[in-house]
Amino acid sequence: MSNTDGVAPSPKKDPAKGFLGWVERTGNKLPDPVFLFFYLILFLVIVSVICKFFGLTAPHPTKLGEDGSPEVIKSASLLSAENIQRLWVEMPKTFTHFHPLGYVLVVMLGAGVAERSGLFAAGIRQAVRGAPLFLLTPVVALVAMLSNHAADAGYVVMIPLAAIIFASVGRHPMAGIAAAFAGVSGGFSANISPGQLDALLFGITEAAVEGSSLDASWTMNIAGNWWFIAALMVIYLPTIWFVTDKIIEPRLGKWVPDERQAAEYGQENKPLTEGQKKGLSNAGLAILAVCFFWAFMSFAPNTPLLSDGPMKDDLTFFQQWAAVIKLFAGLAVFILAGFVIKFVKIQNWVIRIFFALMVLGVAIGACYFIAKVGPGLSSVGIDDQEWYVTATPFFRSLVAAFMVLFLAAGWVYGRAAGTISDHRSLVEMMAEAMKDMGYYLVLAFAAAHFVAMFNWSNLGLISAVHGANGIKAADVPLPIALGLIVLLVGLLNLFVGSASAKWALLAPVLVPMLMLVGISPEGATAAYRVGDGATNIITPLMVYFPLILIFAQRWQKDFGIGSLTAMMLPYSLWLLVTGVILMVVWIFLGFDLGPGAPMAYTLPG
């Protein structure tokens, strides 16, 4: 096509040049994460031999020798007869005892059914469709962040659907893709509740604590970052809203669809079928049933999910069942509030939201009154035991709880929607979910041996001790130190896209190092999550980056890697800055990161 205006077209910037081009080229040269671990194991073997030869040691921070002085941690060669024997003899144990393996596989048995039955996709579509125009961006961002519980459905369903919904109301579809991508990937650690990612990351954290031998009493709590990730969601939501509406969309300009685009919005924006609507209702009831069941096992007398000791003999029936009665009364209040909000028809969305908040406020007040009336939870159990110690079995049961919840909800949805015909279909979906985990199993095998051999060499604990001493000697305030770690993780994320692989590399050093300077394992995990999420959306090495590029090119043919990276860069910077600020403020205020998970930490003894 000739240039009729006589103005030379502006040359396109080559995305292969510049810093981001260098990141892409460098990252592409890295091997697959599985082989990356094997190469690191070879490097670790060489380093262990050198450290053993030069006698690298460190004083143990908690163990004392017979003379009262700190026990000396000596580096061990991985080529010693003992470690070679351990490698071959304990190989099955090393693999199967890798903590994240069981956690992830159990959750995915249920999540795979919920995804393949169509529950996740239908839930996302229903949540986004019909949102008021002025709230469209925050609704898309919120559902995108929540969709991280839905595994791949967040990327495969939410992002193209957001583009279609934005286009259907006259807004630029690329802005919809940007907002959804920022929520799904940039804010993938922000959520209203723990989920699959928590099981994965805390499993690796537990392995790091166990390998360091610093605290044998510490156990994995899947809810250990609950308050923090909920706060992240509260912070990230207005951040994504602001960047989308004030920075990205004005730069994109007004979108005018051609005839083909207007005719090809796709099927995603069509209303749900009656079967899908019934399935969603049934899934909601199934979720409530699972919650009731878990609550009953947690609050009934002599419950199996609380370490509360035997029931006291002199209690009345109401005192024994007070916790259960109060819990069910509180749930009934919230269910009633939900029905009131749903059936009171208010056309104006501002008034409707105000009304909903008012009803929820009344419900919370009623629940507080119910909790204060009559005997409290202290009428049963161990009086001088911290509540989160009592609730340890409950927290550790949440992995199984998520599996049962996803499985039940996906099953009843599939039966109503017609995607599950009988129990054989259900078993087939669970088997397919395990097939999808094949690559993860191979990666876990490599990561498990890297972590184990790192612990056998004692280099992890030695590095942690010297790193902690370096932080103390430099007199770096802990909030600043954690902020720098967040930035380090964000930079590393540009080259190693896998969240689990990256944490398996960093955790054996970072977790014990931060424990030695007073930061809990939950705090180390939270810092990692902030850095890992913010730069996901600007690295071409992220596994879904090519898929997002294809979604974008549906609306703009010449949209390339550089275009996508440039569009997402403001989100990355804002999410990183707000995440670091939240982390620093959280440390200063001393808030717990989750139930029974303080930020501060003191070594036992």
Q: Which residues contact 534 (CB under 8 A, 6 or more apart)?
A: 186, 490, 572, 575, 576, 579
The pLDDT of residue 161 is above 90:
no
Average pLDDT over every residue of 216-228: 86
| Band of pLDDT at residue 415, cut at 50, 70 and 90 | very high
| Band of pLDDT at residue 180, cut at 50, 70 and 90 | very high
Amino acid at 187: G
Residues 569 and 450 in one domain: yes
Is 526 contained in some domain? yes
Domain boundary, last residue among 380, 399, 423: 380
Is 11 contained in some domain? no
Query: Which pair of tokens denotes residue 43?
Result: 């490097």
What is the model's pLDDT at position 9? Answer: 40
Tens-place pLDDT, residues 277-318:
899 989 988 988 888 788 777 766 566 776 655 555 555 555
Residues 395 and 272 in one domain: yes
Residues 240 and 356 in one domain: no
Residues 324 and 373 in one domain: yes
The pLDDT of residue 604 is above 50:
yes
Tens-place pLDDT, residues 50-79:
999 999 998 877 677 777 778 888 999 999
Tens-place pLDDT, residues 307-325:
655 555 555 555 555 666 6
- What is the pTM (predicted TM-score) of this model? 0.67
Q: In this predicted structure, which of 210-224, 310-324, 541-555, 563-577 has the lowest mean pLDDT?
A: 310-324
Task: Give the phi and the psi of residue 421 in degrees, each rounded to 5.
Answer: -90, -40
Residues 395 and 357 in one domain: no
N-term to C-term CA, the chain? 78
Residues 157 and 168 in one domain: yes
Residues 444 and 583 in one domain: yes
What is the model's pLDDT at position 203? Answer: 86
* Tokens 């041996």 -> residue: 449
Is residue 444 within 8 Å of residue 98, measured between CB atoms? yes
What is the extent of the structural domain holding 358? 311-380
HSE-CB at 38 with a 13 A cutoff on CA atoms is 9
Residues 198 and 253 in one domain: yes
Is 294 contained in some domain? yes
More confident residue, 358 or 2: 358
Cβ neighbourhood burial of 233 (10 Å; 0-12, 13-18, 19+): buried
* Residue 597 bridge partners (DSSP): 594
Is 24 contained in some domain? no
Is 438 contained in some domain? yes
Length of the chain: 605
Is residue 295 within 8 Å of residue 327, measured between CB atoms? yes
Is 600 contained in some domain? no
What is the model's pLDDT at position 470? Answer: 79
- CA quadruple 165, 257, 240, 351: dihedral, nearest 10: -50
Residues 360 and 283 in one domain: no
Structural domains counted in the chain: 2
| Band of pLDDT at residue 27, cut at 50, 70 and 90 | low
Residues 270 and 387 in one domain: yes
Q: Where are the beta strands (DSSP E) in 367-490?
A: none
Residues 304 and 363 in one domain: no
Domain boundary, last residue among 380, 398, 433: 380
Is 74 contained in some domain? yes
Domain boundary, last residue among 365, 380, 395: 380
Residues 208 and 336 in one domain: no
Q: What angle do CA 263, 268, 270 make, to 5 degrees?
A: 80
Percentage of residues in the chain with pLDDT exceeding 90? 21
Tens-place pLDDT, residues 80-123:
999 999 999 999 999 998 777 887 788 888 888 988 898 877 87
- Interior/surface letters 352-389, b for 16+ CB within 10 angstroms, e for the rest: eeeebeebeeebeebbeebeeeebeeebbbeeeeeebe
Amino acid at 326: K
The pLDDT of residue 244 is above 90:
yes
Is 340 contained in some domain? yes
